[in-house]
A and B are shown apart, each in its own frame.
Chain A
């Protein structure tokens, strides 16, 4: 959006409210940021009042607090613990049920959820994460029909980041903060006093079409320049930096680096990083039955490579040590992901740093490995 602002429009906060209503009228479930339990969470939202007006977040390793802003910004925070993953690749998904009738077992497949989703307030790093999950979950020989159904109907209103979080490093991953692709409508919140206003650009014909239902006017050159400056400011104030040069090679030639043991001393193997990560996709299958065994079902649920069970084969787990499990997570994310999906698995959102109970910092781990590489 920042590249092509010629057709930019100006949208007021009332306009945004009408946009939400239009999406709901069109049959979409509208999901967006809201304050809950001391965090900015993505939940069902009905109207502007549900958005985190006047809130921002303070983030560092193992630390997250909401703070009041001095203005009424609606999107004046970085990212909360939730990505959009729970909506597109849900934590639990039933796959099928069986019903036994005498000698016959009937298999009933779970129909994909046809509810159209509208995601409000998606950040550049999150758009990239969705694009990565598209590759992972749809790019193979098969593709997940549940994910496909959810993605097919998804309408995305993206937001340029006007503040950088304390653990953000999307700029060094090449994933933000500028919106570039993958959204229907893109907003940049302007910072002037008074009610929030947005420079807006359509990213798809569906976005343009929806915009026609909403009052707006062409943005002025000043407004466009102001929007651009805010995003530029964000890019220059990233809380973290990832030294990305030849990163896969660095990790893959250092599989026995002593740093893995050091980080394992701190890592609790809790799996928080994988739960908050917008690209982590691992799942396991759970079967259950009623007491008689007549009804059974299978559910797919998120899993994490930090459990001992994750790599269990008869005889024991392949990865007994926390060292091996942390190494698996980080080398997968930053190195072998390239081999598997032709892209890095990290978008620089910083969630794994913020939500690690002991503040392990993936950027710091990479830097440490780079500076202490055995020669």
Chain B
């Protein structure tokens, strides 16, 4: 019997199919979904990943929602658990609970312009949304991806970005904080790219994922450009232990980021984000 149906705190043991480096300290793991393939996931949701004996961390899906047999997570090694997960090679076992949380507003985005703004590793949780947008390209208006990262070496999914750049139905702008030769692109914060993007603010949905400060500035800039706060979605990050709204760690005002988020419209976030240390 599948115990996940009775207890969301009990994970399923899965195996790594492949592991690839996607930047300094960043690896993308592809897992065989096995018995939990039918569970599927929505773009924007996350799993709790366990490195046995070490611990568990929340990691967003970075793969294609149309391919639930492949569970893909892009992980930066920043602590003991994420470090251990990124060292898992093909065939290694780990455990997975999920999917948890809210997804990107894909239905709401239909018929509208879509602006995706990513900062650093924030591109990973946005990639499933981009896959879905491109798979059903005709359902949406103009699609723009604005991506800011620290340096050219840290650009995630580089080959994919290069192939996306060749598409005429997708506008991509990339900027870096610190340029090194032979970088010929933009230098500076990602919010500076918003003014260059073409979208109709009255019929635009924006999806933003990145460091909190970057998301605030991006949301404010979109607001100034005329996009309604309720049409701007942020993927929030907080400490999480359970993933189901019962451990208390991820509270942000009255919200449980794991359950009411991680994807939350900016009209619910704007005021609380102004309160320091909330």
Contacts and interface: CB of A to CB of B under 8 A. Distances in A.
Contacts of A205: none
A310 B238 CA distance: 10
Nearest to B256: A340
Interface stretch (A24-32, A162-170, A183-191, A288-296): A288-296
Contact of B3 (A109, A289, A318): A109
Interface in A275-331: 281-285, 287-289, 293, 296, 298, 300, 303, 305, 310-314, 318-321, 323-324, 328
A151 B58 CA distance: 30
Interface string A244-255: 000000000001
A289 B278 contact: no
A300 B249 CA distance: 13
Interface size class on chain A is 35 or more
B249 A311 contact: yes
Interface in B52-75: 52-56
A144 B79 contact: no
B56 A285 contact: yes
B254 A284 contact: no
A96 to B, nearest CB: 5
A285 B256 contact: no
Contact of A313 (B6, B237, B276): B237
Interface in B1-46: 3, 6-13
B238 A311 contact: yes
Contacts of B276: 324
Contacts of B3: 107, 109
Contact of A296 (B6, B53, B241, B247): B53
A320 B277 contact: yes
Interface of B is mostly: loop
Given A287-B53, A303-B248, A310-B239, A336 B10 contact: no
B244 A287 contact: no
B195 interface: no
B245 interface: yes
Contacts of B278: 255, 318, 324, 328
A336 B256 CA distance: 11
A134 to B, nearest CB: 13
A71 to B, nearest CB: 42
Residue from B238, B244, B247, B277 with most neighbouring chain A CB atoms (10 Å): B277
Given A318-B239, A336-B253, A287 B50 contact: yes
Contact of A109 (B7, B13, B55): B7
Contacts of A298: 50, 56
Given A98-B13, A107-B12, A285-B56, A303 B275 contact: no
A140 B276 CA distance: 29
22 contacts: A95-B9, A96-B10, A103-B93, A105-B13, A107-B12, A136-B246, A140-B245, A141-B244, A142-B244, A281-B246, A284-B241, A287-B56, A289-B54, A298-B50, A303-B248, A311-B238, A312-B239, A324-B277, A324-B278, A332-B248, A336-B251, A338-B254
B52 A98 contact: yes
Contacts of A103: 91, 93
Contacts of A283: 241-242, 246-248
Contact of B254 (A137, A314, A339): A339
B134 interface: no
Contacts of B225: none
A17 interface: no
Contacts of A262: none
Residue from B6, B52, B242 with most neighbouring chain A CB atoms (10 Å): B52
B247 A282 contact: yes
Interface in B161-210: none
Contacts of B55: 285, 287
Contacts of B106: none
A303 B246 contact: no
Residue from A100, A318, A320 with most neighbouring chain B CB atoms (10 Å): A318
